[in-house]
Amino acid sequence: MLQAPHCLSAGDKIAVVSPSWGGPGTFPHRYEAGKKQLESAFGVHVVEMSHALHDAGFVADNPKARADDLMQAFADTSIKGIIASIGGDDSIRLLPYLDFTIIRNNPKVFMGYSDATVLHFACMKAGLSSFYGPSMMAGFAENGGLFPYMQDSVRKTLFSADVIGEIKPCYEGWTVEHLEWGDPANQKRRRKLNPYTGLRLLQGRGRVQGRLIGGCAEVLEFMKGTSLWPSSDVWDGAILFLETSEDMPPPLYLRYWLRNYGASGILAGLSGIIFGRPGGHQLSPAKFAEYDDVLVQVVGREYGRPDMPILSHMDFGHTDPMFVLPYGRLAEIDSTSSKFSILESAVTL
């Protein structure tokens, strides 16, 4: 059982780290918008770790500095939560510099998504439950103000010790529209929402429960074979949450990756899978069914698990607005009603 961190409260100090791409140094106005909107919505005080705002070149060249920022944020008892500034593609380079004892002895909220998947698995290795959710520049810096759906999920998951309960879809719609961050005027433009078209139960039956594990499919591939990859008992009985990034990996790649999960025995032991919308603003929603077909083909037919419930088109990861997923918390898929719920609180008082 992963340790749940203490809940956040108004007035708390929240640290920002840049564990992958140096986004704040590249688009400072975008970062400042996220900082302002986070502080205004939740009454917290945001501070930046030493290298979080450095230019992207420095950040890329100095993985140890990035890791040092993260370790210092965990070790600083005045800091109650840590949020990644943005994703990227090389948080895996922090691995030699992470101190799992520091994380274990200083449990606190850590949140981010995409390439932050690496750091979520580091938290798991240290015994801490962390949170797959919005980052400062992709989520909290939403154009024209926060989406209420995302804001409500953050508040319910991180600022309350109540049981989270059913995660309802965002009926208002969803978006992956890209408004160029290099144009500060775009920060005031609201993105267009695509209409809500419903969750998709791809296969399975009954009601299943399991502890949450997963992340960005491409980033999960970085960790296979490393010390961060969990042992088979961690996967057994779990609910896997999986999504793809804005790089738009084709369905063929998803097939390859899922076959690896099958060959390693992971698919045989899972209780269920939830799948986010495939990422990328240039990917037509008409193509989403191709990813669904791959899930059914590999899980249901090739690896003999047609019984396993799989829900797709869910509001997490590289789609907005997103809900927050707490690693290691007990969740449930009800295939009869196509509902997904988190059956525990994610934080303690």
- Is pTM beyond 0.75? Reply is yes
**Residue type at 337?**
S
The answer to whether the beta carbons of residues 165 and 42 sit under 8 Å apart is no
Question: What pLDDT is recorded for position 135?
Answer: 98
Kindly report the CA angle at 94 between 88 and 95, in degrees rounded to 5? 125
Convert the pLDDT of each residue in 119-170 to its tens digit: 999 999 999 999 999 999 999 999 999 999 999 999 999 999 999 999 999 9
Domains of the chain: 13-162 (3.40.50.10740), 184-342 (3.50.30.60)
Give the pLDDT score at 133: 98
* Neighbour tally for 321: CB within 10 Å: 23
Q: Which residues are bridge partners to 271 per DSSP?
A: none
Averages of pLDDT over each 10 residues, the chain, 349 residues: 97 98 98 98 98 98 98 98 98 98 98 98 98 98 98 98 98 98 97 96 97 98 98 98 98 98 98 97 96 98 98 98 98 98 98
Task: Report the pLDDT value the prediction gives residue 254, as an integer from 0 to 100.
Answer: 98
Identity (one letter) of the amino acid at 56?
A
| pLDDT given for residue 311 in this prediction | 98
Distance CA 52, CA 75 (A): 16
Burial (CB < 10 A; 0-12, 13-18, 19+), residue 39, is middle
C-beta of residue 242 within 8 angstroms of C-beta of residue 214 = yes
